[in-house]
Amino acid sequence: MTPQLANRLVLGYVLVSFASLFLIIPLAGLLGAVKGALLAIQGLPFEDLAIEVKAWAGAVTGELFPLALALAIGAFAYWLYTNYVRKYAHEIGWKNAPVTEVIKVAFVLLLFKIGFGYFSTGLFPRSYHEHIGLLKGLTASTAWGWVALFLFVVLLAPLVEEWLFRGLMLRSYALRRGTHFALYAQALIFGLIHGKPMLILNALFIGWILGRVVLAGTSLKTAFWAHAAFNATSFIVIMLLSTNPAAPVPKSPTTNVLFGLAIMLLVILVAARHWRPVHQPPVERGPVTSGSLWAVLAYSLIALLAFQNSLS
């Protein structure tokens, strides 16, 4: 595994996520046909049938996005495992994960999430409300919509991201430039692909913590299950927002900032002291950049600028 191949796989993940948008139209047609067939079996007149199917399609179009993502990323995960992860499983540390270690890492991540939440509500109240708005946009109204959202947010995204960033990218970068460089490089790229200010900052620190965990010799599966638990809290927030659309308003910004900052610093200190990366000097020093990496960074910049422009 070379850094350039890892870069191409990360670019593939970004492109597949974007390309999943094109699945929405055929999915809408397929599910609309199923809905129409069920209504026809019930004996609904044809003129009413068209009206019902059109109304149904308009109501669930937004829910097709997580379904399309789940299908696209699920197919990509299968392809990635078959062609690369299975081959490099031992090298990237894809082995059994002790339950106690998973709980420990997940607790640290969740504690950071709490601290980051308080910090961001106080220091970036506007960005915080924009973040809440993004979460509201992911709400679903049907059972299959919630299942698709769960599969993508809680299982598929953490799985593919751990394979790519804390697995293939982290290890290949470490071979060329050493563990110190690899730790920060993968965390930075992982953060940037999220494309929105709040998500970038959040993902950057999460990537740094999980990178230390893996480089300290902990199983990559531990990082995956901890990441899944972390994302599960976001899924729970999405569900809560679906029934309570009012976003909480920070009552004391200064207190929130100080309290959140204290928790974040505590988590960073614990991660830095408890998970010490095994020092590994470069084995075969060489470049880690490639056209694929620059394409990923360009996508991240465009996504960030597009998000900023949408708010102006």
- Comparing CA positions, the residue from 308, 265, 259, 257 lying closest to residue 123 is 257
pLDDT for residue 240: 78
Per-residue pLDDT at 311: 63
Structure tokens that stand for 276 in this block: 């010490």
Residue 305: its pLDDT value, please? 86
Q: What one-letter code names the amino acid at 12?
A: G
Token duo for residue 234:
């976001």
pLDDT along the chain (312 residues), means of 10: 93 92 76 68 66 65 81 94 94 90 94 88 73 70 82 94 95 92 95 87 93 92 95 84 62 83 93 86 85 93 82 62
Q: Rounded to the nearest 5°, which phi and psi values hold at 66?
A: -65, -30
DSSP state of 122: H
CA angle 14, 19, 25 (to 5 degrees): 155
pLDDT of residue 80: 96
Q: Under 8 Å CB-to-CB from 186, ≥6 apart: which residues?
A: 165, 166, 169, 170, 173, 207, 211
Q: Residue 220: what pLDDT? A: 94
Please give the Cα distance from 8 to 177 (Å, whole number).
18
Q: Which helix (H) or strand (E) holds 228?
A: helix 220-243
Angstrom distances, CA of residue 172 to CA of 121, 220, 229, 282: 37, 15, 26, 10
What pLDDT is stored for residue 44 in this prediction?
67
Structure-token pair, residue 49: 């049938």
Cβ proximity of 216 and 278 under 8 Å: yes
